[in-house]
């Protein structure tokens, strides 16, 4: 059983650019997650897979953002939601930041915490 | 009645006959054996434990005896039978008492799912439990052994039973098992420790058990509120060092050292998360038992939340 994951450790590869421009939207399956947050760490129990994960602050923010969103989000929308100031203004992401966010979502997807919703 | 109240012939007859209904904390085992090392081991190590009436319910029925056939006397062996069935390979003939202890651990971890069970030593002071989760070989039993001679009450040197409804720790005071150099370390640290027969060349090396203190056995119904989670690690030559551990890391360590977390499912997650929230969490490395005992004396005096 896989119990530990640190999406920060996800390595970049040549496919990241392609993934970061992928039109997929992402969501968190509604049922079966239990969360507990301590400081900047989040532990997550995924009842569907009977797996437990420890997420760092960045991955925790991404997961919480997707959880709170009523709809699936694209990477651009996710970045907007994560970075927006109170007035709703968000700075544009650099290529590196966009790649980092894509890698994080990719890793959360690999863990089964996040799922892509392909355009119909 | 306690084991010490039985005369040696009475104890031998019970173990050779229908069995001895031995209470260890919340569980009762019906133990049968004709082996002298098992009889002697029970007489010494379980002297203060309660003997339940013959008609009392027993959670486990097991025996430790010689196999039938030539292995009774030729390079003799011992077998642990649970409900009459053999679940383990036999061990060499003088390992009957350690085999009983390992067998009882197996029974508890495999059956007692009314608790969330951690592979952790646990001691108590001032009503608060100090939980020491760690795999074998990390020095947790040695540390536990030292602490029980310095003001901490033994709850268990091996299995921490968490009561799901309350989150409290249920005592399971039994003989403390030490291996190899740790036996001599504890003898030097506390000459009054009463060891039974030392068994050589086990799968874990040289193994010795020492008798739990009578007062600790007599308080086996007193649960304790969790106070500290400390991940111990023996490091040769290192000074005693206690470092704060994040609750997330402490939580994952508990899972790695849990026997039945999966069986409890989402409730297991809640039980362990609540446990972590109630505790101060540290990692601890040490080589000197004296230094370790002194450091934990300060922690025990300060209480959870206090500065060690």
**B215-235 residue pLDDT tens:** 999 999 999 999 999 999 999
| Sequence-ordered list of residues with C-beta below 8 angstroms from that of A14, at least 6 positions apart, any chain | none
Q: What is the mean pLDDT of chain A?
A: 79
Higher pLDDT, A8 or B181: B181
Residue pair B118/B258 in contact by the 8 Å Cβ criterion: yes
Q: For residue B270, which residues of chain A lie inside 8 Å, CB to CB?
A: 34
**pLDDT, tens only, A15-58:** 333 344 456 899 998 678 999 999 999 999 999 999 999 999 99
ipTM score of the complex?
Answer: 0.85
Mean pLDDT is lowest, of A87-101, B38-52, B127-141, B222-236, for A87-101
Mean pLDDT for the stretch of residues B64-68: 87
Residues B186, B210 contacting (CB under 8 angstroms): yes
Closest to B64 (Cα-Cα) out of B43, B46, B91, B24: B91
Rounded to an integer, what distance in angstroms lies between the CA atom of residue B219 and that of residue B113?
Answer: 23
Mean pLDDT to the nearest integer, B1-6? 97
Q: How confident is the model at residue B66 (pLDDT cuts 50, 70, 90)?
A: confident
Per-residue confidence band for B307, with pLDDT thresholds at 50, 70 and 90: low
pLDDT score of B72? 64
Interface touch B265/A38, C-beta < 8 Å: no
SS3 call for A19:
helix
The answer on pLDDT for B112 being more than 50 is yes
pLDDT in tens, B22-31: 999 999 999 9
Confidence band, pLDDT 50/70/90 cuts, at residue B256: very high
Instruction: Tell me if A54 and B276 make a contact (CB, 8 A cut-off).
Output: no
Instruction: Note the maximum CA span of chain B.
Output: 61
On whether the CB atoms of residues A79 and A90 are closer than 8 A, the answer is yes
Whole-number pLDDT of residue B14: 97
Q: Which of B252, B261, B269 sits opposite A54 (nearest CB)?
A: B252
Considering only CB atoms, A45 lies closest to which of B246, B269, B276, namely: B269
Instruction: Calculate Rg over the CA atoms of chain B.
Output: 19
Percent of chain B with pLDDT over 90: 84
The predicted pLDDT at position A117 comes to: 86
What whole-number distance in Å separates Cα of residue B257 and Cα of residue B255?
Answer: 5
Minimal Cα–Cα distance from A106 to chain B, Å?
22
The interface residues of chain B toward chain A in range 247-306, judged by CB-CB distance below 8 A, are: 247-249, 251-252, 255-256, 261-262, 265-266, 269-270, 273, 276-277
**H-only helix segments in chain B:** 8-16, 36-45, 96-111, 140-148, 181-189, 214-218, 247-256, 261-278, 289-302
pTM of structure: 0.90
Q: In the predicted model, what is the mean pLDDT of residues A59-82?
A: 93
The confidence band for B274, taking pLDDT boundaries of 50, 70 and 90, is: very high
Q: Is A3 on the interface with B (CB under 8 A)?
A: yes
CA-CA distance, B183 to B161, in Å (whole number)? 26
DSSP B8-40: HHHHHHHHHTT-EEEEETTEEEEEEE--HHHHH
Q: For residue B304, what pLDDT is reported?
A: 77
pLDDT at B265 over 90: yes
């Amino acid at each position: 059983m896989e119990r530990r994951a640190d999406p920060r450790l996800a390595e970049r590869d040549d496919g990241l650019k392609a993934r970061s421009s992928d039109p997929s939207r992402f969501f968190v399956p509604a049922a079966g997650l239990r969360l507990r947050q301590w400081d900047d760490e989040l532990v997550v129990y995924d009842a569907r897979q009977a797996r437990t994960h420890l997420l760092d602050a960045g991955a925790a923010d991404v997961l919480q953002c997707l959880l709170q969103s009523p709809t699936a989000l694209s990477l651009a929308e996710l970045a907007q939601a994560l970075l927006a100031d109170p007035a709703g203004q968000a700075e544009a992401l650099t290529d590196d930041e966009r790649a980092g966010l894509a890698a994080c979502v990719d890793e959360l997807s690999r863990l089964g915490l996040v799922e892509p919703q392909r355009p119909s | 009645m306690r084991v010490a109240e039985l005369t040696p012939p009475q104890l031998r007859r019970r173990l050779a006959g229908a069995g001895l209904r031995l209470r260890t904390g919340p569980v009762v085992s019906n133990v049968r054996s004709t082996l002298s090392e098992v009889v002697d081991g029970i007489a010494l190590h379980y002297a203060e434990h309660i003997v339940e009436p013959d008609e009392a319910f027993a959670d486990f029925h097991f025996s430790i005896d010689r196999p039938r056939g030539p292995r009774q006397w030729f390079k003799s062996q011992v077998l642990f039978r649970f409900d009459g069935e053999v679940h383990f390979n036999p061990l060499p003939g003088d390992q009957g008492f350690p085999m009983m202890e390992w067998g009882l651990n197996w029974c508890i971890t495999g059956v007692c799912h009314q608790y969330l069970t951690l592979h952790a030593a646990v001691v108590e002071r001032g009503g608060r439990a100090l939980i020491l989760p760690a795999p074998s070989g990390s020095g947790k039993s040695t540390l536990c052994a030292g602490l029980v001679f310095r003001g901490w009450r033994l709850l268990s040197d091996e299995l921490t039973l968490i009561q799901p409804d309350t989150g409290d720790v249920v005592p399971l005071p039994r003989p403390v098992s030490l291996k190899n150099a740790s036996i001599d370390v504890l003898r030097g640290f506390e000459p009054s420790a009463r060891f039974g027969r030392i068994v050589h060349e086990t799968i874990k090396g040289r193994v010795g058990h020492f008798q739990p203190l009578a007062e600790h056995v007599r308080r086996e119904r007193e649960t304790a509120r969790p106070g500290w989670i400390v991940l111990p690690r023996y490091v040769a030559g290192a000074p005693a060092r206690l470092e704060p551990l994040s609750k997330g890391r402490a939580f994952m360590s508990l899972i790695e050292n849990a026997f039945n977390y999966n069986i409890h499912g989402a409730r297991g997650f809640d039980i362990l998360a609540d446990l972590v929230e109630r505790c101060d969490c540290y990692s601890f490395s040490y080589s000197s038992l004296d230094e370790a005992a002194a450091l934990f004396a300060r922690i025990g005096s300060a209480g959870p939340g206090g500065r060690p």
